Amino acid sequence: MPCYRCGARQTDPVRGASPWQRGVRNESQVLICPDCQRLHDHDLDACSTCGSAALICRLGEVECRSCGAVRMARSDALTVSVPPPPGLSAEVEAALNRVLGRA
Ligand SMILES: [Zn+2]
Ligand SMILES: [Zn+2]
């Protein structure tokens, strides 16, 4: 998974923990590269219990790694808006034309 902000690819560290930060943004898991971590304007989701941004998102739940609080991910962030069926605007236009007497 690349950095959500600049798109940089994660490289495996030679040793030790990865310097990449994990977080949750708009209900989805994101990774932040070391360069973007310095910018401090990530607009990450924060834990409603302790305010920590150290969250992990999985299976429709968001878990805080600082205090362990778990909440459901907002379902509205997961629903995909459905476009209107094709032809509707043509029907509406035809109906309007009938009403206005210019069919
Ligand atoms: Zn980045
Ligand atoms: Zn917390």
Using an 8 Å Cβ cutoff, are 54 and 23 in contact?
Answer: yes
Ligand closest to the CA atom of residue 50: 2
CA of 61 to the centre of ligand 2 (A): 13
Residue 85 covered by a domain: no
Residue 69 covered by a domain: yes
Query: Residue 25: how many CA atoms within 13 Å on its side-chain side?
Result: 13
> How many structural domains are present in the chain?
1
| The pTM of the whole model exceeds 0.85 | no
pLDDT band at 103 (very low <50, low <70, confident <90, very high): low
CA of 63 to the centre of ligand 1 (A): 23
pLDDT per position as a tens digit, 65-96:
999 999 998 765 555 555 666 666 778 888 88
86: left (phi over 0), alpha (psi -120 to 50) or beta: beta
Cβ partners under 8 Å of residue 26, min gap 6 = 45, 77
Three-class secondary structure assignment of 82-95? CCCCCCHHHHHHHH
Residue 91 covered by a domain: no
Ligand closest to the CA atom of residue 2: 1
pLDDT per position as a tens digit, 26-46:
888 999 999 999 987 778 999
